[in-house]
Structure 1
């Protein structure tokens, strides 16, 4: 799942969601939890109006989380929904 989708599910802004992930980077080391799309992958595969900024382009490529990564998110997020799911 993409970072923006998970942020919406758990009630975060994507920026704050990614900040929580970066603050707990050691828990997400390795490809089994998440990976960052390359610019090419993002432009060719995932391009959609939801991923463009107001100035006409995406500022950042999204993170994609594996099933294990989604579970790991529940251990670092502080929101009510994440706590209930855990």
Structure 2
């Protein structure tokens, strides 16, 4: 997948007790079953710092998620486990 730009809309609680970021992309991204601008990026490592960059998991979402996120019961389409983000 190529790089995408987006804006963090909010952080939600993950199942590990840390935060996942809800991001609205500047352009749509196409998965197998979902085309959307809304993604959730979740830290790959416990106690990962969101300040500048790092590895993340990505899930596509049809709509804004609730305030809690459960990777074991996704409501979207998981697309990547080895992505990364960078704060601009």
TM > 0.5 between the two?
A: no
Q: Could you say which structure has the higher strand fraction?
A: 2
- TM normalised by structure 2 equals 0.24
**Of the two, which has the highest radius of gyration?**
1
**Which structure would you say has the larger RCO, counting Cα contacts within 8 Å and 6 or more residues apart?**
1
